[in-house]
Amino acid sequence: MNHLFRVKLYVNDIEKSLLFYEEVIGLQLYKRSMHAARFNDDQFSLLLATDSTLSENHYFYNGKDMKGNGFELIIVVNRIEEVYERCKEKRCTIQEEIQTYPWEMRGFKVVDPDGYFLRITSE
């Protein structure tokens, strides 16, 4: 059985988030509208939607908690050093410098424009 995983992140500024995920991280935009965007890769989709799309009875509406609290999104990339350098050039908040993990993968941790915690890792 094949499974498709989708993660949806609510963002303050769709344009700022698009620049981060497209130009800094290197994901390919699949589709977008005024208030939403979608990146597809194999069996995974990352959806971005502006906070303005939330209804008043939605769980996240007017949330006071920090976005992404207790959540880590792991993105596997081919050229990790290039992504790391782009993050540094764009002055992204890097939480953990690039390193080789005990399981032989390389990675680093960065925070996106809305405070979501990402681990960028090699294949």
Give the Cα separation of 43 and 37 in Å (integer): 17
What domain range is 75 assigned to? 5-53+66-122
Average pLDDT over residues 3-28: 92
pLDDT(1) > 70: no
- Structurally, the chain folds into a number of domains equal to 1
Contacts of 83 (CB under 8 A, 6+ apart): 24, 25, 26, 77, 120
In this structure, is residue 29 part of a structural domain? yes
For residue 41, the model assigns a pLDDT of 84
Average pLDDT of the chain is 89
Write the CB contacts of 19 (distance below 8 Å, at least 6 apart in sequence).
none
Q: Please state whether the predicted TM-score (pTM) of the whole model is above 0.95.
A: no
Phi-psi region of 2 (alpha: psi -120 to 50; beta: other; left: phi over 0): beta
Is residue 58 one of the residues assigned to a domain? Answer: no
Of 47, 39, 41, the residue nearest 11 (C-alpha):
47
* CATH value at residue 40: 3.10.180.10
> pLDDT tens, 56-77?
777 666 765 667 777 889 999 9
Identify whether 110 is part of a domain: yes
The percentage of the chain sitting over the pLDDT mark of 70, rounded to a whole number, equals 91
61 within domain boundaries = no
